[in-house]
Structure 1
Amino acid sequence: MEHRGFTALGGDCELFRIDLGGGTLAEGEAWVRQMHDRFTRFSESSELSQFNASAGDWVEVSAEMDALLRESLRAFDVSDGLVHAATLPALLAAGYTRDFSLGSTPTAMPPPPPRPLPELLSVRDGKARLAAGAAIDLGGIAKGWMADRLAERLGDNCLVNLCGDLFARGSGETGEGWPVGFGDRSVLLKDMAAATSGVTKRMWGPGLHHLIDPRTSRPAQTDLHEVSVLAATATDAEIYAKVALLKGSADAAKWLEGRAMGWSFV
């Protein structure tokens, strides 16, 4: 079994592969880094930053950006508006204006809650438009999408873990599935994904963290610290985990029923 670990996307990434029919793990790492450079909000030259800077105008976008923007619109719809890509102004107001390793910046008055994403973002035939004054952060949606796409590239028996958003393809080394930590236990996954969303790893003060509630434009107030979810794709797992975290322990399980394949709350 091949293994490759590296740091990217603000955390630890791991690639495992048994089937040698796909691209190499080194190529997989290079692709992750390329996507990070394209979609980070911390570089003015990234495609995402250039797109935000062009708010108000129709601009050409890459095939990958097109896919991510469409996934963001789908996430908004699936989550009843709780997964909202256009909360970047609120995130900046909360003090998360630069790479987390550099520390936070002073907070500011939060902006009004954003309008529904379909009113702010339009996508058509390789072109997209943000409403004037809007700005998006692809964040977790990008990680989940990248895990799904990279698993397709690496062959029929591989595991892709991008900072906790993972896709297990095939039956693993033993034929029973890929062993994955899930909450306080280990599970075996075959052609299935998992994602974890939490508020403690990126916290920089009392009540200040990276998970913005689009209903308030403030860091979410939730009694859950961490949610892990199993789903058919890493993108869906990422969406479901974030919704559950925002809903809190009283409503999370009810919302996940019929959507997720399993979950764990902390």
Structure 2
Amino acid sequence: MPHPGWDSFSFDGIGTAWQISTPAPLAPAVRTRLLQAVEEYDVSYSRFRPDSRIAELARAAGTVTLPDHAERLGSVFRTLHRLSGGSMTPLVGGSLEQLGYGADYALVPRGPARPAPPWEDVLHWEGSTVGCSEPVVLDVGAAGKGQLVDLLAETLRADGIAHYLVDGSGDMIHAGPSPLRVGLEHPYDPAQAIGVVELGDRALCASASNRRAWGDGLHHVLDATTGRPVDTVVATWTMAASTLEADALATALFLVEPRLLEEEFEFDWLRVFSDGRAHCSQGFEGALFT
């Protein structure tokens, strides 16, 4: 969503639509650096392109070197893997492909749901070095887009741009003199909102089972220990200082009780369940419509 009254730079990247809003138009050189950052991220982490760095690990056991920011990404995944008892893991890519969500976008299951392999058995992620003892399909989608939002915000700040809204199809970070009013998309009707939040100098991310859904009961949020889609929680929203953490926690809320996540992360949250119930943290700065 564009920031009202600000100039907007729109483009596509990592398979989704982006809008970057700033008080004044971005210089061509800044736009080029933003697009380069998106391309670098995609060629590092995409499981949908054969020339990406992590695609090498899907073809054969071995080791790849990723950009320096992979250390932070790996740390967040490792923590949430521990808190979720293995339900959330970057090794879920093979389980998604088993259900039809692969690089060919067949969207037809290859067979029964398949759990992801245990992290400790096959994956070594130390800093920016990632290795595997057997071919694995990594998927960092539960946190990667959020991290890219942060990286684009860093690019803007490096060019002296202090006020901005970086919006990666609903995963966003805001910095500005006044809060931005953001609607919370209805999990069953994208044309409607179930509430609003005031976003000011924070990140906001959402995850919902209606996004990237195909077939009967098939969607992208899986319990990696079973390989099956989660069917109890249908939508989550999180607000945090970084979009990386907000994005990762929005997925984690499908799998982990909020009280456990709050022991290690500072964030606010809202969860909507399949039976219509909604729960939120005490500090969630939003209002739900009745």
Deviation at residue 142 of structure 1 after TM alignment = 0.9
Once residues 94 and 130 of structure 1 are traced to their aligned partners in structure 2, the CA distance between those partners, rounded to angstroms, is 23
Q: For residue 261 of structure 1, what is the aligned residue in structure 2? A: 268
Aligned Cα root-mean-square deviation (Å): 2.8
Counterpart of 1:108 in structure 2: which amino acid? G
Moved more, 68-77 or 129-138: 68-77
> How does the TM-score come out when normalised to structure 2?
0.75
**Does 2:230 correspond to 1:220?**
yes
Once residues 239 and 19 of structure 1 are traced to their aligned partners in structure 2, the CA distance between those partners, rounded to angstroms, is 31
Instruction: Mark the CA change 1:242 to 1:208 in structure 2 (over 3 Å): closer, same or farther.
Output: same
**Does 2:114 correspond to 1:104?**
no
> How does the TM-score come out when normalised to structure 1?
0.81
Aligned pairs for 1:146-165 (under 5 A) are: 146-155=148-157, 156-165=162-171
Deviation at residue 192 of structure 1 after TM alignment = 0.9
Moved more, 80-89 or 135-144: 80-89
Deviation at residue 160 of structure 1 after TM alignment = 0.9
Once residues 253 and 69 of structure 1 are traced to their aligned partners in structure 2, the CA distance between those partners, rounded to angstroms, is 21
**Does 2:226 correspond to 1:211?**
no
Q: For residue 43 of structure 1, what is the aligned residue in structure 2? A: 49
Q: Is the 8 A contact 1:120 1:131 kept in 2?
A: yes
Q: For residue 86 of structure 2, what is the aligned residue in structure 1? A: 81
Aligned pairs, how many? Answer: 253
Query: What are the superposed Cα offsets for residues 99-134 of structure 1, whole Å, 9 maximum, x if unpaired?
Result: 6xx55134313334431x244322336432123143
State which of 226, 239, 251 in structure 2 corresponds to 1:230: 239
Once residues 97 and 21 of structure 1 are traced to their aligned partners in structure 2, the CA distance between those partners, rounded to angstroms, is 36
Q: Is the 8 A contact 2:60 2:135 kept in 1?
A: no
Q: Is the 8 A contact 1:17 1:154 kept in 2?
A: no
Deviation at residue 143 of structure 1 after TM alignment = 0.4
Q: Is the 8 A contact 1:85 1:138 kept in 2?
A: yes
Counterpart of 1:237 in structure 2: which amino acid? A
Q: Is the 8 A contact 2:57 2:63 kept in 1?
A: no
Instruction: Mark the CA change 1:120 to 1:34 in structure 2 (over 3 Å): closer, same or farther.
Output: same
Unaligned runs of 5+ in 1: none
Identity %: 23
Query: What are the superposed Cα offsets for residues 38-60 of structure 1, whole Å, 9 maximum, x if unpaired?
Result: 321111111120133342x3343
**Does 2:236 correspond to 1:239?**
no
Q: For residue 195 of structure 1, what is the aligned residue in structure 2? A: 205
Once residues 132 and 49 of structure 1 are traced to their aligned partners in structure 2, the CA distance between those partners, rounded to angstroms, is 13
